Amino acid sequence: MWSLLRPAVSMVALCTVVLGLGYPLGITAVARAVVPDRAGGSLVVVDGVVVGARDIGQSFVGDTWLHGRPSVTADQPYNALSSAGSNLGPAHPALRERVAAAVQAERGTATIAAIAVPIDLVTTSASGLDPHITPAGAAFQIERIATARGLSRLQVEDAVARASEGRWLGIFGEPRVSVLAVNLALAQLSSTTRATPMVQ
C-alpha cells in the first residue's frame, strides 16, 4: 500500500516546496532586484505619509474629488484583500438597477443633465481595484470639481492632463488617467487657498 502512496506523497511534498515556496520567493527576489518600487506595492508617499498606491484604486467621496471606477469588493470598496467583481451577468436585474442608479447620480452632478455618462463611471471591473479611469470619465467630472473647489476649469484640466498616460509603446492598452495623481494635484492646488482634507 505504502509503495503506491509514496510516489504521490513525495510529489505533493516536492510541488509544495518548489511551487509553494521556491517559486514565489524566487519571483519576489527577482522583482525586488528589477523593479523594487513596484515589488514594494508602488506606494505613493507625501510628506512621509503613505497616501495610496499607483496600482490599486481607492475611494474618493465628495464633489471636490475625481471619482474612480465603482468597486464592489466585499466589505468595502477597493478592498485589496477581496479583489473581485460582482459576477452579475449583463441581463441581471440587480446589475441593471445598480447601473441605472449610478447613471442618475452622475447625471445629477453634470452641468448638462442629458449628457452621456462614460461607462467606466457606472460599471465595475473584474478586479474592483482599478486605479485609472478613461479620459472621457475624467473630462465628465472636470466642471463639477472646478465648481466645488473654486478653481478654474483650466486648472482642473491641467491636473488631469498631467496625470494622463497613453498606450504603452503606443499600441498596448488604452489611454487612462490616474485618479490618485489627479486628486493629489487637486489637494495641492487647493492648499494654496484653503485647507481641503482628502476624503478616502
pLDDT of residue 192: 56
Cell triple for 152: 478654474
Q: How far apart are CA 151 and CA 87, in angstroms?
A: 39
- Specify the pLDDT at position 197: 43
Collapsing DSSP to helix, strand or coil, 65 comes out as coil
Collect all residues with Cβ–Cβ distance below 8 Å to 53 and sequence separation of at least 6: 41, 42, 43, 44, 131, 180
- What is the reported pLDDT for 85? 76
Express each pLDDT in 52-77 by its tens digit: 888 888 989 889 999 999 988 888 88
pLDDT band at 5 (very low <50, low <70, confident <90, very high): confident
The per-residue pLDDT for range 79-105, each reduced to its tens digit, is 888 888 777 888 888 888 888 888 888
